A and B are shown apart, each in its own frame.
Chain A
Amino acid sequence: MSAGASRQVIDVNFFLNLIGVDLSALQGYGPLLLHGTWVTLKLSALSLLVSMALGLLGAAAKLSPLKLLNLPATFYTTLIRGVPDLVLMLLIFYSLQGWLSSLTEAMDWPYMEIDPFVAGVITLGFIYGAYFTETFRGAILSVPRGQQEAAACFGLNRWQRFRFVVFPQMMRFALPSLGNNWLVLLKATALVSIIGLSDLVKVAQEAGKSTFNMLDFLLLAAALYLLITSASNYVLRVLERRYNQGVRGMAR
Protein backbone atom coordinates (compact mmCIF):
# COMPACT_ATOMS: atom_id res chain seq x y z
CA MET A 1 0.00 0.00 0.00
CA SER A 2 1.27 3.42 -0.87
CA ALA A 3 1.24 6.20 1.69
CA GLY A 4 -1.32 8.14 -0.33
CA ALA A 5 -3.92 5.38 -0.18
CA SER A 6 -3.67 4.91 3.56
CA ARG A 7 -3.89 8.64 4.17
CA GLN A 8 -7.06 8.77 2.12
CA VAL A 9 -8.70 6.16 4.33
CA ILE A 10 -7.81 8.17 7.43
CA ASP A 11 -9.33 11.28 5.90
CA VAL A 12 -12.60 9.53 5.07
CA ASN A 13 -12.83 8.19 8.60
CA PHE A 14 -12.14 11.62 9.99
CA PHE A 15 -15.01 13.18 8.05
CA LEU A 16 -17.37 10.32 8.87
CA ASN A 17 -16.51 10.78 12.56
CA LEU A 18 -17.36 14.45 12.23
CA ILE A 19 -20.92 13.60 11.19
CA GLY A 20 -21.17 11.01 13.93
CA VAL A 21 -20.51 7.85 11.92
CA ASP A 22 -17.99 5.42 13.38
CA LEU A 23 -16.77 2.92 10.81
CA SER A 24 -15.21 0.68 13.45
CA ALA A 25 -18.76 -0.41 14.36
CA LEU A 26 -18.82 -2.22 11.00
CA GLN A 27 -15.97 -4.43 12.26
CA GLY A 28 -14.21 -4.43 8.92
CA TYR A 29 -17.30 -5.29 6.89
CA GLY A 30 -17.57 -1.81 5.39
CA PRO A 31 -15.96 -2.63 2.01
CA LEU A 32 -18.02 -5.83 1.72
CA LEU A 33 -21.25 -3.94 2.37
CA LEU A 34 -20.24 -1.32 -0.16
CA HIS A 35 -19.60 -4.06 -2.68
CA GLY A 36 -23.00 -5.61 -1.91
CA THR A 37 -24.66 -2.25 -2.48
CA TRP A 38 -22.81 -1.92 -5.77
CA VAL A 39 -24.00 -5.41 -6.85
CA THR A 40 -27.58 -4.50 -5.95
CA LEU A 41 -27.39 -1.23 -7.90
CA LYS A 42 -25.75 -2.85 -10.92
CA LEU A 43 -28.24 -5.71 -10.92
CA SER A 44 -31.26 -3.43 -10.73
CA ALA A 45 -29.96 -1.01 -13.35
CA LEU A 46 -29.16 -3.79 -15.85
CA SER A 47 -32.47 -5.55 -15.15
CA LEU A 48 -34.23 -2.24 -15.71
CA LEU A 49 -32.59 -1.91 -19.12
CA VAL A 50 -33.50 -5.48 -20.11
CA SER A 51 -37.07 -5.15 -18.86
CA MET A 52 -37.61 -1.77 -20.54
CA ALA A 53 -36.38 -3.17 -23.85
CA LEU A 54 -38.62 -6.20 -23.42
CA GLY A 55 -41.45 -3.92 -22.37
CA LEU A 56 -41.20 -1.80 -25.51
CA LEU A 57 -41.08 -4.91 -27.68
CA GLY A 58 -43.98 -6.43 -25.74
CA ALA A 59 -46.06 -3.28 -26.04
CA ALA A 60 -45.42 -3.12 -29.78
CA ALA A 61 -46.43 -6.79 -30.08
CA LYS A 62 -49.50 -6.35 -27.93
CA LEU A 63 -50.69 -3.35 -29.95
CA SER A 64 -50.07 -5.10 -33.23
CA PRO A 65 -53.14 -6.25 -35.16
CA LEU A 66 -51.35 -9.51 -36.03
CA LYS A 67 -52.62 -12.39 -33.89
CA LEU A 68 -49.23 -14.09 -34.20
CA LEU A 69 -47.59 -11.23 -32.24
CA ASN A 70 -50.51 -10.17 -30.14
CA LEU A 71 -51.40 -13.54 -28.59
CA PRO A 72 -47.96 -14.55 -27.28
CA ALA A 73 -47.50 -11.06 -25.79
CA THR A 74 -50.85 -11.29 -24.00
CA PHE A 75 -49.95 -14.76 -22.79
CA TYR A 76 -46.58 -13.49 -21.53
CA THR A 77 -47.99 -10.57 -19.54
CA THR A 78 -50.90 -12.55 -18.06
CA LEU A 79 -48.78 -15.50 -17.03
CA ILE A 80 -45.86 -13.55 -15.59
CA ARG A 81 -47.99 -11.07 -13.68
CA GLY A 82 -50.04 -13.84 -12.11
CA VAL A 83 -47.09 -15.68 -10.58
CA PRO A 84 -44.86 -14.36 -7.75
CA ASP A 85 -41.45 -13.10 -8.88
CA LEU A 86 -39.67 -15.34 -6.38
CA VAL A 87 -41.32 -18.48 -7.81
CA LEU A 88 -40.38 -17.41 -11.34
CA MET A 89 -36.88 -16.61 -10.20
CA LEU A 90 -36.34 -20.06 -8.71
CA LEU A 91 -38.06 -21.71 -11.68
CA ILE A 92 -36.02 -19.93 -14.32
CA PHE A 93 -32.72 -19.98 -12.44
CA TYR A 94 -32.72 -23.67 -11.50
CA SER A 95 -34.29 -24.84 -14.77
CA LEU A 96 -31.81 -22.86 -16.86
CA GLN A 97 -29.00 -24.54 -14.97
CA GLY A 98 -30.59 -27.97 -15.39
CA TRP A 99 -31.13 -27.48 -19.12
CA LEU A 100 -27.61 -26.21 -19.59
CA SER A 101 -26.21 -29.21 -17.73
CA SER A 102 -28.16 -31.69 -19.83
CA LEU A 103 -27.12 -29.83 -22.97
CA THR A 104 -23.43 -29.93 -22.05
CA GLU A 105 -23.78 -33.59 -21.13
CA ALA A 106 -25.47 -34.46 -24.42
CA MET A 107 -22.89 -32.55 -26.43
CA ASP A 108 -19.99 -33.89 -24.36
CA TRP A 109 -18.91 -30.37 -23.45
CA PRO A 110 -17.26 -29.54 -20.12
CA TYR A 111 -19.61 -28.71 -17.26
CA MET A 112 -20.78 -25.11 -17.29
CA GLU A 113 -22.32 -23.13 -14.48
CA ILE A 114 -24.53 -20.12 -15.08
CA ASP A 115 -23.22 -17.01 -13.42
CA PRO A 116 -25.83 -16.07 -10.78
CA PHE A 117 -25.47 -12.38 -11.68
CA VAL A 118 -26.27 -12.97 -15.36
CA ALA A 119 -29.10 -15.31 -14.39
CA GLY A 120 -30.43 -12.68 -12.01
CA VAL A 121 -30.40 -9.97 -14.70
CA ILE A 122 -32.11 -12.26 -17.23
CA THR A 123 -34.72 -13.46 -14.76
CA LEU A 124 -35.57 -10.05 -13.31
CA GLY A 125 -35.54 -8.49 -16.77
CA PHE A 126 -37.85 -11.18 -18.09
CA ILE A 127 -40.29 -10.85 -15.16
CA TYR A 128 -40.44 -7.06 -15.06
CA GLY A 129 -40.59 -6.90 -18.86
CA ALA A 130 -44.19 -8.07 -18.46
CA TYR A 131 -44.99 -5.19 -16.10
CA PHE A 132 -43.27 -2.68 -18.38
CA THR A 133 -45.20 -4.06 -21.36
CA GLU A 134 -48.44 -3.03 -19.67
CA THR A 135 -47.00 0.35 -18.70
CA PHE A 136 -45.83 1.16 -22.22
CA ARG A 137 -48.98 -0.20 -23.84
CA GLY A 138 -51.13 2.12 -21.76
CA ALA A 139 -48.80 5.06 -22.39
CA ILE A 140 -48.71 4.56 -26.16
CA LEU A 141 -52.50 4.35 -26.22
CA SER A 142 -52.69 7.64 -24.31
CA VAL A 143 -50.93 9.56 -27.10
CA PRO A 144 -53.67 10.96 -29.33
CA ARG A 145 -53.88 9.15 -32.63
CA GLY A 146 -53.87 12.41 -34.56
CA GLN A 147 -50.27 12.95 -33.52
CA GLN A 148 -49.15 9.84 -35.40
CA GLU A 149 -51.27 10.71 -38.39
CA ALA A 150 -49.86 14.23 -38.49
CA ALA A 151 -46.33 12.86 -38.26
CA ALA A 152 -47.08 10.48 -41.12
CA CYS A 153 -48.36 13.43 -43.17
CA PHE A 154 -45.04 15.17 -42.62
CA GLY A 155 -43.33 12.20 -44.21
CA LEU A 156 -41.75 10.74 -41.06
CA ASN A 157 -41.07 7.02 -41.31
CA ARG A 158 -42.03 4.44 -38.67
CA TRP A 159 -38.89 4.84 -36.56
CA GLN A 160 -38.91 8.64 -36.75
CA ARG A 161 -42.58 8.70 -35.76
CA PHE A 162 -41.77 6.64 -32.70
CA ARG A 163 -38.57 8.47 -31.79
CA PHE A 164 -39.67 12.08 -32.27
CA VAL A 165 -43.44 12.07 -31.85
CA VAL A 166 -44.75 9.13 -29.86
CA PHE A 167 -41.87 8.49 -27.44
CA PRO A 168 -41.52 12.01 -25.94
CA GLN A 169 -45.26 12.26 -25.37
CA MET A 170 -45.67 8.70 -24.17
CA MET A 171 -42.98 9.13 -21.50
CA ARG A 172 -45.17 11.63 -19.68
CA PHE A 173 -47.90 9.04 -19.27
CA ALA A 174 -45.48 6.20 -18.63
CA LEU A 175 -43.34 7.92 -16.02
CA PRO A 176 -45.44 7.48 -12.85
CA SER A 177 -45.95 3.78 -13.47
CA LEU A 178 -42.37 3.42 -14.70
CA GLY A 179 -41.09 4.89 -11.47
CA ASN A 180 -43.34 2.59 -9.49
CA ASN A 181 -42.07 -0.43 -11.41
CA TRP A 182 -38.49 0.66 -10.84
CA LEU A 183 -39.05 0.82 -7.08
CA VAL A 184 -40.71 -2.61 -7.09
CA LEU A 185 -37.85 -4.01 -9.19
CA LEU A 186 -35.28 -2.50 -6.85
CA LYS A 187 -36.94 -4.12 -3.85
CA ALA A 188 -37.27 -7.41 -5.72
CA THR A 189 -33.50 -7.56 -6.17
CA ALA A 190 -33.33 -8.36 -2.45
CA LEU A 191 -34.64 -11.81 -3.42
CA VAL A 192 -31.62 -12.68 -5.56
CA SER A 193 -29.68 -13.42 -2.38
CA ILE A 194 -31.91 -16.51 -2.17
CA ILE A 195 -30.44 -17.83 -5.44
CA GLY A 196 -26.94 -17.23 -4.10
CA LEU A 197 -25.92 -13.82 -5.36
CA SER A 198 -23.90 -11.78 -2.86
CA ASP A 199 -26.00 -8.65 -3.01
CA LEU A 200 -26.60 -6.20 -0.18
CA VAL A 201 -28.92 -8.55 1.75
CA LYS A 202 -26.62 -11.55 1.51
CA VAL A 203 -23.58 -9.53 2.54
CA ALA A 204 -25.44 -8.04 5.51
CA GLN A 205 -26.56 -11.52 6.57
CA GLU A 206 -23.02 -12.87 6.36
CA ALA A 207 -21.60 -9.94 8.31
CA GLY A 208 -24.35 -10.34 10.89
CA LYS A 209 -23.74 -14.06 11.27
CA SER A 210 -20.01 -13.78 11.81
CA THR A 211 -20.18 -10.80 14.18
CA PHE A 212 -23.23 -12.13 16.09
CA ASN A 213 -24.88 -8.81 15.45
CA MET A 214 -27.54 -9.66 12.89
CA LEU A 215 -29.97 -6.88 13.74
CA ASP A 216 -27.59 -3.97 13.24
CA PHE A 217 -26.35 -5.18 9.88
CA LEU A 218 -29.87 -5.90 8.65
CA LEU A 219 -31.00 -2.45 9.80
CA LEU A 220 -28.02 -0.95 8.00
CA ALA A 221 -28.97 -2.82 4.81
CA ALA A 222 -32.56 -1.59 5.17
CA ALA A 223 -31.27 1.97 5.62
CA LEU A 224 -29.18 1.64 2.45
CA TYR A 225 -32.25 0.44 0.53
CA LEU A 226 -34.18 3.39 1.94
CA LEU A 227 -31.42 5.71 0.76
CA ILE A 228 -31.56 4.26 -2.76
CA THR A 229 -35.36 4.43 -2.97
CA SER A 230 -35.35 8.00 -1.65
CA ALA A 231 -32.77 9.05 -4.21
CA SER A 232 -34.85 7.34 -6.92
CA ASN A 233 -37.93 9.21 -5.78
CA TYR A 234 -36.06 12.48 -6.09
CA VAL A 235 -34.78 11.67 -9.60
CA LEU A 236 -38.28 10.58 -10.64
CA ARG A 237 -39.76 13.86 -9.47
CA VAL A 238 -37.17 15.77 -11.51
CA LEU A 239 -37.87 13.62 -14.57
CA GLU A 240 -41.60 14.06 -14.17
CA ARG A 241 -41.17 17.81 -14.11
CA ARG A 242 -39.05 17.60 -17.24
CA TYR A 243 -41.50 15.45 -19.20
CA ASN A 244 -44.47 17.50 -18.04
CA GLN A 245 -43.04 20.67 -19.52
CA GLY A 246 -45.61 22.56 -21.47
CA VAL A 247 -48.56 20.73 -19.96
CA ARG A 248 -51.00 23.05 -18.32
CA GLY A 249 -51.88 22.43 -14.70
CA MET A 250 -49.07 19.99 -14.15
CA ALA A 251 -46.36 22.57 -13.56
CA ARG A 252 -46.12 22.15 -9.80
Chain B
Amino acid sequence: MIELIAEYWKPFLFSDGYSLTGLAMTLWLLVASIVMGFFLSLPLAIMRTSRWGLLRWPVQLFTYVFRGTPLYIQLLICYSGIYGIAVVRSQPLLEAFFRDAMNCTLLAFTLNTCAYTVEIFAGAIRSIPYGEIEAAHAYGLSGWRLYLRLILPSALRRALPYYSNEVILMLHATSVAFTATIPDILKIARDANAATFMTFQAFGIAGLLYLALSFGLVGAFRLAEKRWLSFLGPTH
Protein backbone atom coordinates (compact mmCIF):
# COMPACT_ATOMS: atom_id res chain seq x y z
CA MET B 1 0.00 0.00 0.00
CA ILE B 2 2.73 2.43 1.02
CA GLU B 3 4.86 1.61 -2.05
CA LEU B 4 1.85 2.04 -4.27
CA ILE B 5 1.14 5.50 -2.86
CA ALA B 6 4.83 6.42 -2.91
CA GLU B 7 5.09 5.52 -6.57
CA TYR B 8 1.73 6.67 -7.86
CA TRP B 9 0.69 9.66 -5.75
CA LYS B 10 1.72 12.14 -8.40
CA PRO B 11 -0.18 10.63 -11.35
CA PHE B 12 -3.14 9.97 -9.05
CA LEU B 13 -3.30 13.63 -8.12
CA PHE B 14 -2.22 15.76 -11.05
CA SER B 15 0.44 14.65 -13.52
CA ASP B 16 2.36 11.69 -14.94
CA GLY B 17 5.13 13.99 -16.13
CA TYR B 18 3.67 14.56 -19.59
CA SER B 19 0.06 15.57 -19.20
CA LEU B 20 -2.71 16.30 -16.76
CA THR B 21 -3.83 13.06 -15.08
CA GLY B 22 -5.79 11.65 -12.19
CA LEU B 23 -7.72 13.94 -9.91
CA ALA B 24 -6.89 17.05 -11.93
CA MET B 25 -8.12 15.41 -15.15
CA THR B 26 -11.33 14.19 -13.51
CA LEU B 27 -11.99 17.67 -12.16
CA TRP B 28 -11.32 19.20 -15.57
CA LEU B 29 -13.73 16.76 -17.24
CA LEU B 30 -16.36 17.51 -14.61
CA VAL B 31 -16.00 21.30 -14.68
CA ALA B 32 -15.82 21.55 -18.47
CA SER B 33 -18.85 19.34 -19.11
CA ILE B 34 -20.91 20.85 -16.29
CA VAL B 35 -20.21 24.45 -17.33
CA MET B 36 -20.89 23.83 -21.03
CA GLY B 37 -23.94 21.72 -20.17
CA PHE B 38 -25.25 24.47 -17.90
CA PHE B 39 -25.09 27.25 -20.47
CA LEU B 40 -26.46 24.99 -23.21
CA SER B 41 -29.32 23.86 -21.01
CA LEU B 42 -30.65 27.35 -20.12
CA PRO B 43 -32.06 28.20 -23.58
CA LEU B 44 -33.12 24.58 -24.07
CA ALA B 45 -35.01 24.57 -20.76
CA ILE B 46 -36.86 27.73 -21.83
CA MET B 47 -37.69 26.03 -25.12
CA ARG B 48 -38.75 22.90 -23.25
CA THR B 49 -41.34 24.89 -21.29
CA SER B 50 -42.51 26.84 -24.32
CA ARG B 51 -46.18 26.78 -25.27
CA TRP B 52 -45.13 26.42 -28.90
CA GLY B 53 -44.76 22.77 -29.93
CA LEU B 54 -42.23 23.49 -32.65
CA LEU B 55 -39.82 24.73 -29.96
CA ARG B 56 -40.77 22.15 -27.34
CA TRP B 57 -40.71 18.90 -29.30
CA PRO B 58 -37.11 18.91 -30.59
CA VAL B 59 -35.83 19.53 -27.07
CA GLN B 60 -38.14 16.87 -25.70
CA LEU B 61 -36.81 14.38 -28.25
CA PHE B 62 -33.21 15.32 -27.39
CA THR B 63 -33.68 14.80 -23.64
CA TYR B 64 -35.69 11.63 -24.23
CA VAL B 65 -32.95 10.05 -26.32
CA PHE B 66 -30.04 11.15 -24.15
CA ARG B 67 -31.71 10.21 -20.88
CA GLY B 68 -32.95 6.89 -22.24
CA THR B 69 -29.58 5.55 -23.35
CA PRO B 70 -26.45 4.82 -21.31
CA LEU B 71 -23.69 7.44 -21.29
CA TYR B 72 -21.20 4.70 -22.14
CA ILE B 73 -22.91 4.09 -25.50
CA GLN B 74 -23.05 7.82 -26.16
CA LEU B 75 -19.33 8.02 -25.49
CA LEU B 76 -18.64 5.04 -27.75
CA ILE B 77 -20.70 6.61 -30.53
CA CYS B 78 -18.80 9.89 -30.24
CA TYR B 79 -15.41 8.26 -29.81
CA SER B 80 -15.40 5.27 -32.17
CA GLY B 81 -18.64 5.58 -34.13
CA ILE B 82 -18.58 9.04 -35.67
CA TYR B 83 -14.93 8.94 -36.69
CA GLY B 84 -15.71 5.92 -38.87
CA ILE B 85 -17.98 7.89 -41.20
CA ALA B 86 -16.37 8.80 -44.52
CA VAL B 87 -17.92 12.29 -44.56
CA VAL B 88 -16.38 13.15 -41.20
CA ARG B 89 -12.96 11.98 -42.32
CA SER B 90 -13.04 13.96 -45.53
CA GLN B 91 -13.77 17.27 -43.76
CA PRO B 92 -10.53 18.57 -42.21
CA LEU B 93 -12.29 20.45 -39.41
CA LEU B 94 -14.50 17.55 -38.35
CA GLU B 95 -11.63 15.13 -38.77
CA ALA B 96 -9.41 17.15 -36.44
CA PHE B 97 -12.22 17.45 -33.89
CA PHE B 98 -13.19 13.80 -33.73
CA ARG B 99 -9.62 12.48 -33.87
CA ASP B 100 -8.98 13.92 -30.43
CA ALA B 101 -10.30 11.64 -27.67
CA MET B 102 -10.74 14.61 -25.32
CA ASN B 103 -13.10 16.40 -27.72
CA CYS B 104 -15.22 13.28 -28.17
CA THR B 105 -15.41 12.67 -24.43
CA LEU B 106 -16.34 16.26 -23.63
CA LEU B 107 -18.94 16.25 -26.41
CA ALA B 108 -20.61 13.11 -25.06
CA PHE B 109 -20.45 14.28 -21.43
CA THR B 110 -21.75 17.76 -22.23
CA LEU B 111 -24.71 16.52 -24.26
CA ASN B 112 -25.54 13.93 -21.59
CA THR B 113 -25.45 16.27 -18.61
CA CYS B 114 -27.21 18.94 -20.68
CA ALA B 115 -30.15 16.59 -21.29
CA TYR B 116 -30.59 15.89 -17.58
CA THR B 117 -30.07 19.54 -16.64
CA VAL B 118 -32.68 20.71 -19.16
CA GLU B 119 -35.30 18.51 -17.50
CA ILE B 120 -34.29 19.74 -14.02
CA PHE B 121 -34.45 23.41 -15.03
CA ALA B 122 -37.64 22.94 -17.02
CA GLY B 123 -39.25 21.34 -13.97
CA ALA B 124 -38.08 24.26 -11.83
CA ILE B 125 -39.45 26.81 -14.31
CA ARG B 126 -42.82 25.05 -14.27
CA SER B 127 -42.86 25.01 -10.46
CA ILE B 128 -42.57 28.79 -10.10
CA PRO B 129 -45.76 30.00 -8.42
CA TYR B 130 -47.88 31.88 -10.93
CA GLY B 131 -48.25 34.74 -8.48
CA GLU B 132 -44.57 35.57 -8.89
CA ILE B 133 -44.98 35.95 -12.63
CA GLU B 134 -48.16 37.99 -12.20
CA ALA B 135 -46.31 40.27 -9.80
CA ALA B 136 -43.54 40.69 -12.37
CA HIS B 137 -46.13 41.55 -15.03
CA ALA B 138 -47.60 44.11 -12.66
CA TYR B 139 -44.15 45.70 -12.39
CA GLY B 140 -43.99 45.94 -16.17
CA LEU B 141 -41.55 43.08 -16.80
CA SER B 142 -42.12 41.01 -19.90
CA GLY B 143 -40.31 39.08 -22.61
CA TRP B 144 -36.62 38.35 -22.11
CA ARG B 145 -36.46 40.81 -19.23
CA LEU B 146 -39.02 38.70 -17.35
CA TYR B 147 -36.86 35.61 -17.91
CA LEU B 148 -33.60 37.30 -16.99
CA ARG B 149 -34.83 39.12 -13.90
CA LEU B 150 -37.36 36.74 -12.46
CA ILE B 151 -37.95 33.34 -14.03
CA LEU B 152 -34.35 32.17 -14.40
CA PRO B 153 -33.04 33.36 -11.00
CA SER B 154 -36.04 31.87 -9.25
CA ALA B 155 -35.91 28.60 -11.20
CA LEU B 156 -32.17 28.16 -10.72
CA ARG B 157 -32.52 28.60 -6.97
CA ARG B 158 -35.35 26.10 -6.77
CA ALA B 159 -33.43 23.64 -8.93
CA LEU B 160 -30.37 23.72 -6.68
CA PRO B 161 -31.01 20.49 -4.70
CA TYR B 162 -31.70 18.51 -7.88
CA TYR B 163 -28.84 20.17 -9.72
CA SER B 164 -26.38 19.24 -6.97
CA ASN B 165 -27.49 15.65 -7.38
CA GLU B 166 -26.86 15.83 -11.13
CA VAL B 167 -23.37 17.28 -10.60
CA ILE B 168 -22.45 14.44 -8.25
CA LEU B 169 -23.85 11.86 -10.68
CA MET B 170 -21.81 13.52 -13.42
CA LEU B 171 -18.67 13.25 -11.28
CA HIS B 172 -19.35 9.53 -11.02
CA ALA B 173 -20.09 9.30 -14.72
CA THR B 174 -16.73 10.84 -15.66
CA SER B 175 -15.12 7.55 -14.64
CA VAL B 176 -16.08 6.00 -18.01
CA ALA B 177 -13.69 8.46 -19.68
CA PHE B 178 -10.82 5.99 -19.31
CA THR B 179 -12.42 3.81 -22.01
CA ALA B 180 -11.62 6.65 -24.41
CA THR B 181 -7.97 6.65 -23.21
CA ILE B 182 -8.45 9.80 -21.09
CA PRO B 183 -6.03 9.55 -18.12
CA ASP B 184 -8.51 10.25 -15.32
CA ILE B 185 -8.37 8.79 -11.78
CA LEU B 186 -9.65 5.40 -12.85
CA LYS B 187 -7.17 5.09 -15.72
CA ILE B 188 -4.29 5.68 -13.29
CA ALA B 189 -5.77 3.08 -10.94
CA ARG B 190 -5.90 0.58 -13.79
CA ASP B 191 -2.32 1.34 -14.78
CA ALA B 192 -1.20 0.99 -11.16
CA ASN B 193 -3.10 -2.30 -10.91
CA ALA B 194 -1.56 -3.63 -14.12
CA ALA B 195 1.95 -2.71 -12.95
CA THR B 196 1.79 -3.83 -9.30
CA PHE B 197 -1.12 -6.36 -9.12
CA MET B 198 -2.28 -4.62 -5.96
CA THR B 199 -5.85 -4.60 -7.19
CA PHE B 200 -7.74 -3.75 -4.05
CA GLN B 201 -5.34 -1.00 -3.06
CA ALA B 202 -5.15 0.60 -6.51
CA PHE B 203 -8.91 0.76 -7.04
CA GLY B 204 -9.41 1.52 -3.35
CA ILE B 205 -7.33 4.68 -3.63
CA ALA B 206 -9.36 5.69 -6.70
CA GLY B 207 -12.56 5.05 -4.75
CA LEU B 208 -11.36 7.16 -1.83
CA LEU B 209 -10.45 10.03 -4.15
CA TYR B 210 -13.93 9.95 -5.71
CA LEU B 211 -15.45 9.71 -2.24
CA ALA B 212 -13.54 12.79 -1.09
CA LEU B 213 -14.64 14.68 -4.22
CA SER B 214 -18.27 13.66 -3.67
CA PHE B 215 -18.21 14.81 -0.06
CA GLY B 216 -16.55 18.07 -1.11
CA LEU B 217 -19.29 18.69 -3.66
CA VAL B 218 -22.04 17.81 -1.18
CA GLY B 219 -20.55 20.28 1.31
CA ALA B 220 -20.20 23.02 -1.31
CA PHE B 221 -23.79 22.60 -2.46
CA ARG B 222 -25.02 22.63 1.13
CA LEU B 223 -23.35 26.02 1.56
CA ALA B 224 -24.86 27.20 -1.72
CA GLU B 225 -28.32 26.11 -0.63
CA LYS B 226 -27.92 27.95 2.65
CA ARG B 227 -26.93 31.05 0.72
CA TRP B 228 -29.54 31.01 -2.06
CA LEU B 229 -32.35 28.81 -0.86
CA SER B 230 -32.89 29.92 2.73
CA PHE B 231 -35.89 32.05 1.72
CA LEU B 232 -37.83 28.84 0.99
CA GLY B 233 -37.12 27.35 4.41
CA PRO B 234 -39.16 27.74 7.58
CA THR B 235 -38.95 31.20 9.14
CA HIS B 236 -37.50 31.45 12.59
A interface residue numbers (CB < 8 A to B)? 79, 81-88, 90-91, 94-95, 98, 187-191, 193-194, 201, 205, 208, 212-215, 218-219, 221-222, 225-226, 229-230
Contacts and interface: CB of A to CB of B under 8 A. Distances in A.
Nearest to B173: A84
Interface residues of B, number: 38
Contact of A215 (B81, B179, B190, B214): B81
B73 A201 contact: yes
B74 interface: yes
Given A86-B186, A87-B186, A226-B68, A221 B73 contact: yes
Contacts of B74: 222
A23 to B, nearest CB: 21
A201 B70 contact: yes
B210 A91 contact: no
Interchain residue pairs A-B with the least CB separation, the first 4: A190-B70, A84-B172, A215-B81, A91-B203
Contact of A98 (B73, B80, B200, B207): B200
B53 interface: no
A201 B64 CA distance: 20
A225 B204 contact: no
15 contacts: A83-B172, A83-B211, A86-B175, A88-B207, A91-B207, A94-B203, A98-B200, A187-B70, A191-B70, A214-B80, A222-B65, A222-B77, A225-B68, A225-B69, A226-B64
A219 B206 CA distance: 32
A214 B73 CA distance: 11
B65 A219 contact: no
Nearest to B73: A222
Interface in B154-202: 171-176, 179, 186, 189-190, 193, 197, 199-200
Interface string B113-157: 000000000000000000000000000000000000000000000
